[in-house]
Chain A
Amino acid sequence: MDFDLSEFQNMLLDSAKKFLEKEAKNGFRETENTEEGYSLKLWEKIAELGWMGVVFPAQYGGIDGSFLDLVLLVEEMGKRLFTGPFVSTIVSGLSILQYGQKSQKAQILPKMIKGKLILSPALIKPNPILGQTRVEERVKVQAGSYMLSGTRLFVPYAHVADMLVYGANSDREKTLFLVDAKSSNISCEPFDSIGSDKLCEVNFEDVVVPESSILGEMGNGNEITRQMNDWGALLEAAYIVGMLDQVLKMSLEHAREREQFGKKIGSFQAIQHQCANMATDIHQVKYLTYEAAWKLSENLPAKKESSMAKAWASDASRRVCLLGVKIHGGMGVSQEHDMQLYFRRAKACEVAFGDGDFHREIVAQELGC
């Protein structure tokens, strides 16, 4: 039993903390209204630091780190609201590492780890009841190739991605295709969304892809999608842990300074209890996240634990950010103050890769219900 970090992890976090403090200080605010929605310069720098390759093998340029190392790093990114296509790229890369053909791994992973390739999963089909699509869903099989048409929603950073992991049903079997996002038949339009995470509507119109673009095997799409969801959920949980830690920190700073009725508001029991609740919520989600990450690091199954972490993280993010806003009073709703950045971003993370209800259903299944 050990709740301490390893020396490597302490070093990794220390350098990440210093780097983000220096380079990503107002990153979220600065990039949220730009077209890309993230800093290309910063992206290059983190690639140089090796962040993209933390969980990837040395043979592709990675450092053979553990999933726990990655989770701790993403937590640090969450504290600073670091923005960019990090989780979407890593999750796609992991799917290639685990399921891809040897040639796919060799062609894609080294470039991705150098920061030269941005990937994103294009898996969510629109709900026809909620809106009309302009493209009809279709997969046409030709000799040695496929023609893909369809709309996918909520694809993170598709508009800047180099490669999309496109999920489609061929003969009722779900298959994933690795597609060049810059093809002329693909359009990617980012939404203005609450968390400024550049979720896109992606339209494929008769996009021709070779058989070799199939990720892994034909019909394996559901398994890979579920796995990608587990990884993505756990990384979002880690990001949430970082965000909530920072929200608590800001709230405490405010409570210790703000005076009303001749006293610091931090001495009022209501504020104290709210802060204690935030600290407890954060502790709960933090160790669920670490436990899941540790299991993955030990090559143990962690499906239940990952969903436990994401379910709690999703709901805790609402609870903690709401208290954060309330404690800050008027400042909490001012755009000028950072609190609302965390509040908005938390909503995006709550939903990404499944919200609380979605993951509780997975936990129920894992309990045998």
Chain B
Amino acid sequence: MDFSYSPEEEKFREEVRGFFEQEAKCASEAKKEWDSGLGYGPNCWQILQKVGERRWICPTWPKKYGGLDLSYMYRYIIMEQMHYYLNIYSTVGAGMAGPVIMRHGSEMQKNEFLLPIARGEIEFALGYTEPQAGSDLAALMIRAEDKGDHFVINGSKLFNTRVHYAQYHWLGARTKITNPKYKGISLFIVDLKTPGITVAPIWTVGGTRTNEVFYDNVEVSKEALVGEVNRGFYYILEALDYERISTVAGLERDFAEIVEYVKKTGKSRDPLIRQKIAGIAIEIETARLLALKVAWLLNKGQVPNYEAAMLKMLVSETEQNLVNTSMQIFGPYGLIQKGSHWAQFNGKFERNYRDSLEALLTRGTSEIMRNIIAVRRLGLPLH
């Protein structure tokens, strides 16, 4: 057992950190844009493209697709630094759409999308959720009808985040009425500029923008289908498994600020606060070790079956504990939103308190994660 990086990995870590220190101005503007909840602003695109120029968005990909053929541990190292400096540690294109295109897409799709994804030039928005299809993803109903030489798509999507700034919709749609439902789902790549698509904003309690998307007789070419028809659900599950990787670098960064805060304000003398602070430090460390284990498993070429679900759950719940504890420490000052000089950390934790709720639900709820752990890892029977 060894919890350290190799000398080469350590050196690479320094290189990545050095890059972000060098690009500090662009990075901090990008982070501000992302933290505003409005999506990728111009600085986000700029920094992503700088990262993409170094082939660091998809470093594990083959060189011809914009990667460096590096092992997974290098991707993890980059993600950690991205998380720390940008709060953006991956793109949907790099983490979900890209790998599925690479594994199941047509040559045309690989040639059209992979390089731009790796270069940070394009982004995808997940098109899964519908009003009646959240955790029960297979219940999705948006219909893609085969018209011979093209498809016509009708229906709507809910809580599709990124649709308002991504170029493409990574759309799960029903191509066949089947029982069980999941056997009739297909995956499409839809250009979001296609006529017939309407996007309406939905605002979360955290101030983040997500969207309702309406498809009204939207025509897409046959080439938009990813992989085989009616096999989409398997691709979706595959993609979800791989993208439940996280890092805790953002949590560590915010926690370090809280530690400085309690020291500077003298609150660190309160034994109750000392207990809370220590408790959070320990919890973050447990999440960090699990993140390393997931990275190590992927590095070995193994599927982090239940560990990825456990990690997703642990990171989101640890963040909850961090924001809860921070708010408790601030007392009534924690209620004040950004704008007043009395707001603590200019309202950052107040906003996180609201915004961090989303992580408990998105990419699989904590309850679904527990189901996965119970069935896949612990061998308990399906209900």
Contact = CB atoms under 8 A, between A and B. Distances in A.
Interface of A: 1-6, 68, 248, 252, 255-256, 263-264, 266-269, 271-273, 275-277, 279-280, 283-285, 287-288, 290-291, 294-295, 308, 311-312, 357, 360-364, 367-369
Interface in B260-295: 262-263, 268, 271, 274-275, 277-279, 281-283, 285-286, 289-290, 292-293, 295
Contacts of A255: 380
Q: Which 6 A-B pairs have the closest CB atoms?
A: A272-B374, A360-B278, A284-B286, A276-B370, A363-B278, A364-B274
A361 B271 contact: yes
Contacts of B313: 280
Contacts of A312: 282, 286
A285 B282 CA distance: 10
Interface in B10-58: none
B238 interface: no
Nearest to A287: B289
Given A1-B4, A5-B1, A280-B313, A272 B371 contact: yes
A117 B278 CA distance: 38
A235 to B, nearest CB: 17
B381 interface: yes
Given A1-B3, A360-B274, A267 B282 contact: no
Interface residues of B, number: 48
A279 B281 CA distance: 20
Contacts of B373: 275-276, 279-280
B281 A269 contact: no
B370 A277 contact: yes
21 contacts: A2-B1, A68-B1, A264-B381, A266-B381, A269-B371, A272-B380, A273-B370, A276-B369, A276-B374, A284-B283, A287-B293, A288-B289, A291-B285, A311-B278, A312-B286, A357-B275, A362-B278, A363-B278, A367-B277, A368-B263, A369-B263
A266 B380 contact: yes
Given A1-B295, A1-B299, A287-B286, A367 B281 contact: yes
Contacts of A367: 259, 277-278, 281
B73 interface: yes
B73 A1 contact: yes
A360 B379 CA distance: 34
A368 B269 CA distance: 11
A311 B283 CA distance: 10
Contacts of B370: 272-273, 276-277
Contact of B381 (A6, A267, A277, A368): A267
Contact of B2 (A252, A283, A294, A361): A294
A273 B374 contact: yes
Contact of A363 (B281, B377, B378): B281
Nearest to B306: A279
Contacts of A357: 275
A62 B5 CA distance: 31
Nearest to A277: B370
B136 to A, nearest CB: 14
Contact of A308 (B1, B285, B292, B382): B285
A311 B370 CA distance: 24
Nearest to B286: A284
B237 interface: no
Interface string B342-363: 0000000000000000000000
Contacts of B303: none
Contacts of A275: 373-374, 378, 380
Contacts of A287: 286, 289-290, 293
Given A272-B371, A276-B371, A360-B278, 12 more contacts: A1-B2, A1-B299, A248-B378, A252-B378, A269-B367, A276-B310, A277-B370, A279-B310, A279-B378, A280-B310, A367-B281, A369-B262
Nearest to B377: A279
B375 interface: yes
Given A269-B383, A311-B282, A283 B290 contact: yes
Contacts of A284: 283, 286, 290, 314
Contacts of A4: 1
B214 interface: no
Nearest to B260: A368
A357 B281 CA distance: 14
Contacts of B310: 276, 279-280, 283
Nearest to B6: A1
B262 to A, nearest CB: 6
Contacts of B371: 269, 272-273, 276
A2 B2 contact: yes
Contacts of B242: none
Centre residue among A256, A268, A364 by max chain B CB count within 10 A: A364
Contact of B3 (A263, A269, A272, A294): A294
Centre residue among A248, A276, A357, A362 by max chain B CB count within 10 A: A276
A3 B379 contact: no
A368 B289 CA distance: 22
Contact of A361 (B259, B275, B367, B375): B275
A256 B380 contact: yes
Contacts of A283: 286, 290, 310
B1 A252 contact: no
Given A287-B289, A288-B289, A364 B382 contact: no
B268 to A, nearest CB: 4
B296 interface: yes
Nearest to A278: B378
B382 A267 contact: yes
A279 B259 CA distance: 30
A360 B275 contact: yes
Nearest to A272: B374
Contact of B286 (A269, A288, A363): A288
